[in-house]
Chain A
Amino acid sequence: MDFTEEQIQRYSRHILLQDVGVEGQEKINNGKVLIVGAGGLGAPIALYLAAAGVGTIGIIDGDVVDLSNLQRQVIHFTPDVNKPKVISAKEKINLINPDVKVVTYQKLLTAENALDIINDYDFVVDGTDNFPVKFLINDACMIAKKPFSHGGILRFDGQTLTYVPGSACYRCLFHSPPPPNAVPTCSQAGVLGAIAGMLGTIQAAEVLKYLTGVGDLLTNRLLTFNAKTMEFRTVHTKHNDNCPVCGSHPTVTGLVDYEQAVCDIESHRKQK
């Protein structure tokens, strides 16, 4: 592919990087990435991937923008309140970079639609706020053999890992979802807005590393941080032979919609 003069200017800081260069930028421009959730994590992920020139960005989210989202979901602006999040996100992505093709799915990712949707993409990014969908993304990516980035934030804490086929998956570390209401969600416990940016941009960097083949991904490692102490830890992990989805005797062989905490469903209903 030959870059236009405008693209050379736009992507010049990537082209200058020895590890990225023209070839790496072409890989980014040909990349197809699905972002699950257009919220706190999805916002910086979508903005940075759009700016980087990822060719196709899919965004799935069934919610509309709520005033309480704006404290951290930086892709949505005050006039977007009540607008579907995927529409608001698409508008900003195309304002940053008209080259990007945006595919929107104004719905929740479910056991029924997950495989069909993720099959169209090279990489999946988890930007969700609940355990049922985090496990669903993991299991769907196992079945479809798709790499993905897991991300989660709560209060002042963040955690992320990257999966590629063969590496330790989310379930190798976290066997199954906690019981509903055992772990508070952001909407109950609160979250420092800026940590959504901290974690989401780490995930975006992982996507760009995957697409370009640069560096070492966060595979077989779990990165965690706490913004109060600003300590970052990397825990080395490995494939778990007893993993319920990728172990030697898997018990999870199909996709399941796990039960959501009641207050989450209420808050989702309220927003519709």
Chain B
Amino acid sequence: MANYKLDITKEHCPMTFVKTKIELSKLKAGDTLEVLLTEGEPLENVPRSSEEQGFKVLSITEAEVKGTHLIVIQK
């Protein structure tokens, strides 16, 4: 099972989820994608949109840089 990484801290809505979807399209069942994102809109929307489109959000944790979070999404 592969693990992919993506940093969308410099993106704005809706490109935050567009970039996430492009990475998610590479996943096979069981693979995971770690997404680094900022608080606010990305943190509210990216996990929700991922769940809505059939992916599983395994975890959401605070990342090193203040105001950023790491979410792990699984197909």
Contacts and interface: CB of A to CB of B under 8 A. Distances in A.
A23 B21 CA distance: 11
A12 B25 contact: no
Interface residues of B, number: 11
B53 A8 contact: no
Contacts of B22: 3, 8, 15, 22
Interface string B1-38: 00000000000001101110110010000000000000
Interface SS, A side? helix
Interface string B48-63: 0000111000000000
Nearest to B17: A16
> Which of B14, B22, B52, B54 has the most chain A CB atoms closer than 10 A to its own CB?
B22
> Which of B14, B18, B25, B54 has the most chain A CB atoms closer than 10 A to its own CB?
B18
Contacts of B52: 18
A13 B21 CA distance: 12
B21 to A, nearest CB: 6
Interface of B: 14-15, 17-19, 21-22, 25, 52-54
Given A12-B14, A16-B14, 7 more contacts: A8-B18, A13-B14, A15-B21, A15-B22, A16-B17, A18-B53, A23-B25
